[in-house]
Amino acid sequence: MTIDTAALPATIDQVLVRLNGILDDALRQGTRIGYFAALYERVTTNVRRALVAGNVFQDNARMERLDVVFADRFLDAWDTFSAGGAPTRSWQAAFALLPDANPLAVQHLLVGMNAHINLDLGIAAATVAPTAAELQALWPDFKTINDVLSRLVKVVEDELGQISPRLRHIEDFAPGLEDRLFDFGIDVARDFAWDLARELVATPPAGWDAVIAERDALVAEMAAKLYPLHGLAGEVQRWIHNAESADVRYNIQVIAE
């Protein structure tokens, strides 16, 4: 996937304009891309507030660049898909689920997070910090931005009970399933993304496409483990789904609160 940087946001405020545009369209049309867009708008707003406060990150200018490069990968993937093109396999796996009413709202969120963190974040980090020394200097802020995401995921987890009330009871029926649905493993994903960034920084630019394609294939396979679930986990997932709100517009608003 080649990003046309001239057509994409260059500042975090411009990113928020684009995310809110996608979110507004999803609310009008009742489309499930609004689930991920709602979560991502909240993450980006929290990062922006941290940048305004000026006491969260070690290098605010670098962190805004990282946030923008990171967001642009999602925006380019969505633009490419919306225009009938083929984004990365990781994003194709996420977007392919959007017309499907059977995945839980949380599963739609997780397949998006899978593509964006496990693939896009490492690429963004290597793009912003293209040498080993620069990448190492980025590490403290890289961890911090993941902490922001982790805190917000926990908040959204609580709010999803308004959409899917049976989520609170899944441990009674399938011990460990709650972890599979909610505990995306932000720390694990962060380290996975960091390993990709380190590999890219150690690779000449001409070799980036091959490294990214290999990771993209792996992340696309990981999406298949998030949906569909099989066996008892699949039965519980369907039981939860039976009580979940089918009103996509309402669900988007809950996630966006």
84 in the Ramachandran plot: left (φ > 0), alpha (ψ -120 to 50) or beta? left
- Residue 73: predicted pLDDT: 98
Q: Before 87, cis peptide (omega within 30)?
A: no
Please, are residues 199 and 132 in contact by the beta-carbon 8 Å criterion?
Answer: no
- In this prediction, residue 148 carries a pLDDT of 85
Per-residue pLDDT of the chain (257 residues; tens, 9 = 90+): 444 555 899 999 999 999 999 999 999 999 999 999 999 999 999 999 999 999 999 999 999 999 999 999 999 999 999 999 999 999 999 999 999 999 999 999 999 999 999 999 999 999 999 999 999 999 999 999 888 888 887 778 788 989 999 887 775 666 665 555 554 577 788 999 999 999 999 999 999 999 999 999 999 999 999 999 888 888 888 999 999 999 999 999 999 98
Q: Give the number of residues written for the chain.
A: 257
C-alpha span between 77 and 16 (Å, rounded): 16
Is residue 180 exposed (0-12), middle (13-18) or buried (19+ Cβ within 10 Å)?
Answer: middle
Residue 233: both structure tokens together: 């986990």
Domain boundaries, the chain: 5-256
Global confidence as pTM? 0.93
Rounded CA separation 123/109 (Å): 20
**Residue 183 pLDDT:** 47
Can you tell me the distance from the alpha carbon of 214 to that of 196, in angstroms, rounded to the nearest whole number? 10
* 49 within 8 A of 56, measured Cβ to Cβ: no
